[in-house]
Amino acid sequence: MRLQLAIVVALTATAHADPEGDTATVVARTSGYLDNDDTAISTSTIAVKAKPKDEIVVSARYTADAVSSASVDVITAATERWTELRSEVAGGVAWVDSSMQLSADYIYSHENDWDSHTIGLGGSRDFLNHNLTLGLGAGYVTNAVGRRDDMTFSEKLNAVSGSVRAVWPASKDDLLQVSYDIARATGYQASPYRHAFARGPAGALIAFPEQNPELRTRHAVTLRWNHHLLDDTALRSHLRAYVDDWGIASVTTGTELVYGLDDFELSGNVRVYAQRHARFYQDVYDEPRVYMTADRELSSFQDVFAGVRAAWVPLDDKLSIDLSFTGFYFRFPEFSRLPSRLGATAGLGLVWAL
């Protein structure tokens, strides 16, 4: 799963609308996560962007995750509650002019049982009098996977990814983006802690170390539509279709209404996700198989997120302070150990443009 994060981070572009300074911008964010699977996560990040020259943007970021969990994964692994700190540092440089952008990023992530190095390259260019923007991205990530308190366990996981996208204004009030992403991962893709269960000859459950295929190719096509509604109000919507060669297929859709009022910005959003299981997934296997997983994220399930956000942007847009709250619900009809998950996230952000 950390691989998924790395791929997304590698392909994240630098375009933004937070306050942006003439010489530098400082961003600090913190968020908390809590769910009824006995998991709590605190995430904090600080990022700095600077413009040493008009067309050059350099950036640096540090993110830390503190996780405390006694979820069903932990219970079935017969271990106690665990706590963990993940640290991530990132640096990047971008060249930006009025119609073209090139960027390169590097990310290093470390936790006690996982090390990751990611390289990302991106570029985009406007065509047809800025009526069409085409963008390309590519990433490579290499991971060293370990297991806590087990120096003999050492696995590798590498992945390459690429993306293409097109952005165009469909009218004076509508902006559209369509993108295609592909990622191919090679190596150890199971959890070194989880065990899958199969029924033995007498009907008793027998635990087996999780084993997933070592190759996985993912495809995602995403359509995003931003529509200007009123004077300072916009509706931002998206639809994504995803398939991979493990048999997972999913659809994601969501929309966000953003309303501006003087120095304040209010928004509400809802996001819905539905997924079909990997072809080798079973809640309890009828017999031992080559590939066996206890990962509920590989089962069929649905989830919904709904949230609100309020931002205060004083000082001629040089400062922004925002608060957000999101609630979520997951339904796992194929995972008997956790039929549903209910939780919430809350965040606080500060952006200072110098």
Interface of this chain with other proteins, residues 314 to 333, rule: CB under 8 A:
322, 324, 330
Residues 88-117 that bind other proteins (CB under 8 A): 96-99, 101
Q: Please name which of 354, 327, 322 lies closest in space to residue 343, comparing C-alpha atoms.
A: 327
DSSP SS3 for 245: coil
- Structure-token match 């990962």, residue found: 295
Stretch that binds other proteins, among 108-116, 180-188, 197-205, 282-290 (CB under 8 A): 180-188
How far apart are CB 200 and other proteins at their closest, in Å? Answer: 29
CA dihedral over 315, 317, 321, 322, signed as positive or negative: positive
Stretch that binds other proteins, among 72-80, 144-152, 242-250, 283-291 (CB under 8 A): 242-250
How far apart are CB 304 and other proteins at their closest, in Å? Answer: 12
194 touches other proteins by CB under 8 A: no
265 touches other proteins by CB under 8 A: yes
Distance CA 104, CA 7 (A): 14
Among 77, 109, 135, 280, binds other proteins (CB under 8 A): 135
Residues 43-82 that bind other proteins (CB under 8 A): 43, 45, 47, 61, 63
CB contact at 8 A, 270 and 254: yes
Segment holding 6, helix H or strand E? helix 2-11
How many chain residues touch other proteins (CB under 8 A)? 88
Q: What are phi and psi of 2, to 5 degrees?
A: -65, -30
Q: What are phi and psi of 56, to 5 degrees?
A: -115, 130
Among 76, 192, 347, 352, binds other proteins (CB under 8 A): 347
Among 171, 204, 262, 286, binds other proteins (CB under 8 A): 171
Distance CA 164, CA 4 (A): 18
Q: Please name which of 184, 285, 176 lies closest in space to residue 226, comparing C-alpha atoms.
A: 176
130 touches other proteins by CB under 8 A: yes
How far apart are CB 151 and other proteins at their closest, in Å? Answer: 26
Q: Which two tokens stand for residue 80?
A: 């106690």
Residues 298-317 that bind other proteins (CB under 8 A): 298, 303
Q: Please name which of 101, 128, 131, 283 lies closest in space to residue 196, comparing C-alpha atoms.
A: 283
How far apart are CB 54 and other proteins at their closest, in Å? Answer: 12
Q: Which is nearer to other proteins, 205 or 354 (CB)?
A: 354
Stretch that binds other proteins, among 73-81, 145-153, 201-209, 271-279 (CB under 8 A): 271-279
Distance CA 250, CA 243 (A): 7
Among 116, 124, 191, 212, binds other proteins (CB under 8 A): 124
Among 109, 118, 189, 275, binds other proteins (CB under 8 A): 275
Distance CA 284, CA 334 (A): 10
Q: Which two tokens stand for residue 154?
A: 């050492």
